[in-house]
């Protein structure tokens, strides 16, 4: 039976490759956020610097993987088979969980997931063991203190990082303002000295503590002379920063790139255990079992895992290569990074999250608190502070999420807080700290306006909630997987691994298709946000309206077809799917309206006011068409769901002919919009009026037939409703076609 356990080891290392890949996708946001958000260098250059830091951290790590060996549970009380199943359950669950979060673009903590997965699997096997061995206790089998540390880390890191990030950014902005090219003087040297010294402090106490050359003697020397080392670094880096400034080198850019390298090194050196710890512990267990002649996997206890073990260099080197390749090529890393940048960017844009009651309450409370504070501070001081937050024309750059000052503060504060937490024995999470610092600095920098604050806060609350969900989901999922593996045996293990791989492959395909299907309207919207030319906005906005409206009309046409086909063929699945799609479309229309309002603000005020009425009429028609489809979908779904009498074949055929003409007319309007042929849409109004007249005639015929003895009144009533709503859709389409003609003058 040894071949089964050998296969498990092979699977563990195979899954470890995927885990390294999805782990980097999740944690890349920690060290890429600042450099990418401020465009401190070309994206490839930033990736190269981060990759160098990741590789440096991997190959020079001391490879101590104790958390997976005996940090969560006591292996001396578990058999070889139980330990191997625990590790298999952890790896399968970890990959699927992290990949799920990455697919939704939600950053989470790999440390939290690993700890609670191991806790869940160990808890499952402990319950099984306690049933058969009353002499054991939970305290003997499970190290619950470690799980408690992680939970405390969440509570500590979230408010601390947010508050300190906001305070330091606010002070920094008052000192430097938004004009980072003038009036720097000696301030830039001091800032560079403090920032780079902070990063060095972070690397000494967090980033480099697990590197191989950090022997006990070196650590002791650093701890005994920390003030001397940091004082020397401050003097050297202050002088160096001032010299660089005199040589026309952007010190903020240097700070950001150095900070990126430092965080990447720390990530690789400290979080490597989250990806390699489990398979290496499994390998160590297998080697111990194989070295014992005649060992029984059901009785051989894993006392050997109680000892620490260092990882061979080949594994560290290979892990570094995989992580570097993943960092450079993973699309999901870019998705997770986008979430953080969207929530902290300075400009309005396409908000990823909607509004929530909690966010609205927090915004109202924040506004009230702000008004109270402003009453206390003298007006002259308020005016002076407000001037520091005015962005001069020469400093405006719509191509970046935020400037280099905020990027520097993000990296420096994250580094300092993580280093401080480490020195105080507080297990602060890199993910939690870096994300919340970025949110705090964006709030202090007045990036959250009254128009966007509620969406940003909803996003932050969603991400924070996801961190807590991670712990619960990891524990519960791994508990179930471990139990299934124990009771189901080899067949269930193979099926779970196959299911894990299927989820990864399917997720990757969906992401690839989503990237390929990125709509032209989305691209145009991003281009509008990045342009500073008011004259160029109008033709781009005209194109944006045409494309997005055309896409909606095509979807409307499809929903009209699917709803009525689902009704006539009694296809409940199609009706439910269409009803769900219409619900999502309602939110998309609202977001589209908000997008175009943001774009209008980038034009001259007089033009924006003149065009706002036309925008309202166009979007009102789009909404009314959607409401007509919703009114059509709901009774159709209810009719089929209750198995009522279907509509007769004759009446179906008569309606389908009219529906086909309606769909063709809708498609023609959409084609005209894509081609910016607005005059062609005006010619479509008589077409819709003709269809409406034919629908009225059809309705009159149905009313006459209702007096027939064999007629089913509920079915004919539904048919009348379908005809009425289709007629109303045609009326709204006629108005919509007319209103779009008025947009032709937009670019002129």
Give residue 666's pLDDT band: very low, low, confident or very high (50, 70, 90): very high
**C-alpha span between 286 and 83 (Å, rounded):** 10
Q: pLDDT digits over 563-589, tens only?
A: 999 999 989 999 999 999 998 888 888
* Residue 698, pLDDT above cutoff 80: yes
Give residue 518's pLDDT band: very low, low, confident or very high (50, 70, 90): very low
CATH of the domain at 669: 1.20.58.220
pLDDT value at residue 561: 93
What 605-614 contacts at long range (C-beta under 8 Å, 24+ apart), as own/partner pairs, is: 607/538, 611/743, 611/746, 614/739, 614/742, 614/743, 614/746
* Residue 349, pLDDT above cutoff 60: no
Give residue 104's pLDDT band: very low, low, confident or very high (50, 70, 90): low
Instruction: Tell me how far apart the 2 most distant CA atoms of the chain are, in Å.
Output: 101
Place of tokens 């580094």: 415
Say which residues have a Cβ less than 8 Å from residue 265's Cβ, sequence separation at least 6. Answer: 53, 54, 56, 57, 203, 207, 208
For residues 536 and 512, membership in a common domain is answered with no
**C-alpha span between 516 and 521 (Å, rounded):** 14
For residues 274 and 249, membership in a common domain is answered with yes
pLDDT value at residue 515: 46
Q: pLDDT digits over 432-474, tens only?
A: 788 888 888 888 888 877 667 777 788 777 777 777 777 888 8
For residues 612 and 569, membership in a common domain is answered with yes
pLDDT value at residue 371: 78
For residues 565 and 512, membership in a common domain is answered with no
pLDDT value at residue 424: 62
Q: Are 160 and 424 in contact (CB under 8 A)?
A: no
Q: Are 92 and 501 in contact (CB under 8 A)?
A: no
Least confident range of 585-594, 616-625, 722-731? 585-594
pLDDT value at residue 687: 92
pLDDT value at residue 241: 92
For residues 630 and 702, membership in a common domain is answered with yes
For residues 392 and 419, membership in a common domain is answered with yes
Over residues 479-500, mean pLDDT: 85
Say which residues have a Cβ less than 8 Å from residue 647's Cβ, sequence separation at least 6. Answer: 567, 568, 715, 718, 719
More confident residue, 507 or 732: 732
Give residue 208's pLDDT band: very low, low, confident or very high (50, 70, 90): low
What domain range is 739 assigned to?
A: 521-745
Q: Are 418 and 269 in contact (CB under 8 A)?
A: no
Mean pLDDT of the chain: 80
Question: What Å distances lie between residue 575 and 636, 640, 685, CA to CA?
Answer: 8, 9, 30
Q: pLDDT digits over 44-68, tens only?
A: 888 888 888 888 877 766 555 667 7
For residues 206 and 342, membership in a common domain is answered with yes
For residues 226 and 299, membership in a common domain is answered with yes
**Half-sphere exposure at residue 596, Cβ-oriented, CA atoms within 13 angstroms:** 27
The pair of structure tokens assigned to 516 is 């390929």
pLDDT value at residue 711: 63
For residues 200 and 283, membership in a common domain is answered with yes
Q: Count the neighbouring beta carbons within 10 Å of the beta carbon of residue 656.
A: 14
pLDDT value at residue 300: 86
Give residue 32's pLDDT band: very low, low, confident or very high (50, 70, 90): confident
For residues 490 and 531, membership in a common domain is answered with no
User: Which of 458, 489, 516 is where one domain is finished?
Assistant: 516
pLDDT value at residue 65: 63
pLDDT value at residue 629: 93
* Residue 122, pLDDT above cutoff 50: yes
Most confident listed range (97-111, 345-359, 452-466):
452-466
**% of the chain exceeding 90 in pLDDT:** 13
pLDDT value at residue 236: 93
Q: What is the model's pTM?
A: 0.70
Residue 142 sits at φ, ψ, to 5 deg, of: -125, 135
Give residue 117's pLDDT band: very low, low, confident or very high (50, 70, 90): confident
pLDDT value at residue 665: 93
How many structural domains are present in the chain? 2
Most confident listed range (143-147, 203-207, 312-316, 617-621):
617-621
The pair of structure tokens assigned to 520 is 């032209």
Q: Are 519 and 550 in contact (CB under 8 A)?
A: no
Over residues 510-533, mean pLDDT: 60
Most confident listed range (56-60, 158-162, 514-518):
158-162
Say which residues have a Cβ less than 8 Å from residue 94's Cβ, sequence separation at least 6. Answer: 19, 113, 114, 117, 278, 474
* Residue 738, pLDDT above cutoff 50: yes
**% of the chain exceeding 70 in pLDDT:** 82
Over residues 82-99, mean pLDDT: 85
For residues 491 and 582, membership in a common domain is answered with no
* Residue 268, pLDDT above cutoff 90: no
Backbone φ/ψ region at 185: left (φ over 0), alpha (ψ -120 to 50), beta: left
* Residue 225, pLDDT above cutoff 50: yes
Give residue 289's pLDDT band: very low, low, confident or very high (50, 70, 90): confident
* Residue 88, pLDDT above cutoff 50: yes
Q: pLDDT digits over 233-245, tens only?
A: 899 999 999 999 8
User: Which of 460, 483, 516 is where one domain is finished?
Assistant: 516
pLDDT value at residue 516: 43
pLDDT value at residue 205: 63
For residues 356 and 482, membership in a common domain is answered with yes
User: Which of 481, 516, 551 is where one domain is finished?
Assistant: 516
Label residues 237-272 b or e (16+ Cβ within 10 Å = b).
bbebbbebbeeeeebbbbbbbbbbbbbbbbbbbbbb
Q: pLDDT digits over 15-29, tens only?
A: 778 777 766 766 666
């Amino acid at each position: 039976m040894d071949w089964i356990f050998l296969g498990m080891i092979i699977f563990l290392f195979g899954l470890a490759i995927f885990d390294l890949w999805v782990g980097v996708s999740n944690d890349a946001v920690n060290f890429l956020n600042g450099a990418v958000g401020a465009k401190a260098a070309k994206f490839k250059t930033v990736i190269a610097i981060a990759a160098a830091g990741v590789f440096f951290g991997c190959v020079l790590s001391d490879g101590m993987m104790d958390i997976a060996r005996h940090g969560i549970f006591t292996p001396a009380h578990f058999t070889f088979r139980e330990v191997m199943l625990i590790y298999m359950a952890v790896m399968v669950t970890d990959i699927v969980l992290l990949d799920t979060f990455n697919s939704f673009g939600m950053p989470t903590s790999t440390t939290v997931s690993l700890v609670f997965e191991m806790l869940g699997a160990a808890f499952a096997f402990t319950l099984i063991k306690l049933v058969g061995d009353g002499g054991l206790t939970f305290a003997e089998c499970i190290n619950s203190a470690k799980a408690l540390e992680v939970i405390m880390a969440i509570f500590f890191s979230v408010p601390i990082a947010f508050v300190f990030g906001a305070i330091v950014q606010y002070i920094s902005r008052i000192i430097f303002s938004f004009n980072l090219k003038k009036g720097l003087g000696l301030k830039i040297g001091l800032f560079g000295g403090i920032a780079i010294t902070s990063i060095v402090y972070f690397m000494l106490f967090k980033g480099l503590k697990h590197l191989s050359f950090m022997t006990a003697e070196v650590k002791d020397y650093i701890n005994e002379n920390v003030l001397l080392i940091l004082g020397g670094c401050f003097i050297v880096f202050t002088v160096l920063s001032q010299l660089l400034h005199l040589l026309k080198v952007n010190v903020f850019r240097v700070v950001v790139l150095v900070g990126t390298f430092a965080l990447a090194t720390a990530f690789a050196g400290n979080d490597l255990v989250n990806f390699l710890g489990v398979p290496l512990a499994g390998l160590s267990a297998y080697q111990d079992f194989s070295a014992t002649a005649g060992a029984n996997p059901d009785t051989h206890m894993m006392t050997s895992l109680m000892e620490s073990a260092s990882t061979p260099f080949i594994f560290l080197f290979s892990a570094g290569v995989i992580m570097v390749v993943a960092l450079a090529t993973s699309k999901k890393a870019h998705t997770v990074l986008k979430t953080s940048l969207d929530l902290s960017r300075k400009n309005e844009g396409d908000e990823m999250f909607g509004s929530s009651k909690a966010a609205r309450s927090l915004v109202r409370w924040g506004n009230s608190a702000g008004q109270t504070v402003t009453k206390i501070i003298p007006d002259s001081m308020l005016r002076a502070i407000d001037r520091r937050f005015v962005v001069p024309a020469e400093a405006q750059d719509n191509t970046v999420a935020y400037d280099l000052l905020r990027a520097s503060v993000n990296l420096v504060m994250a580094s300092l807080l993580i280093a401080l937490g480490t020195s105080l024995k507080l297990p602060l999470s890199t993910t939690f700290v870096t994300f919340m610092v970025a949110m705090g600095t964006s709030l202090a920098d007045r990036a959250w306006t009254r128009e966007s604050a509620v969406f940003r806060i909803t996003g932050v609350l969603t991400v924070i909630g996801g961190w807590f969900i991670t712990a619960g989901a990891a524990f519960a999922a791994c508990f179930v997987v471990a139990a299934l593996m124990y009771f189901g045996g080899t067949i269930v293990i193979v099926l779970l691994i196959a299911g894990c791989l299927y989820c990864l492959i399917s997720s990757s395909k969906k992401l690839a298709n989503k990237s390929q299907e990125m709509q032209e309207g989305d691209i145009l919207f991003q281009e509008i946000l990045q342009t500073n030319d008011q004259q160029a906005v109008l033709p781009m906005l005209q194109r944006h309206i045409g494309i997005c409206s055309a896409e909606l009309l095509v979807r409307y046409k499809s929903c009209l077809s699917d709803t009525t086909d689902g009704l006539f063929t009694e296809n409940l699945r199609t009706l439910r799917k269409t009803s769900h799609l219409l619900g999502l479309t309602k939110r998309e229309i609202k977001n589209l309206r908000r997008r175009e309002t943001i774009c209008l603000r980038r034009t001259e005020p007089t033009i924006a006011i003149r065009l706002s009425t036309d925008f309202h009429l166009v979007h009102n028609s789009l909404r009314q068409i959607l409401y007509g489809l919703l009114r059509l979908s709901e009774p159709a779904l209810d009719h089929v769901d209750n198995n009522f009498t279907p509509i007769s074949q004759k009446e179906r055929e008569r309606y389908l002919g009219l529906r086909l003409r309606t769909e063709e007319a809708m498609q023609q309007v959409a084609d005209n919009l894509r081609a910016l042929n607005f005059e062609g849409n005006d010619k479509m109004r008589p077409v819709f009026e003709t269809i409406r007249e034919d629908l009225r005639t059809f309705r009159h015929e149905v009313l006459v037939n209702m007096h027939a003895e064999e007629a089913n009144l509920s079915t004919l009533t539904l048919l009348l409703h379908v005809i009425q709503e289709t007629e109303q859709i045609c009326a709204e389409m006629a108005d919509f076609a007319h209103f779009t003609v008025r947009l032709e003058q937009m670019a002129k």
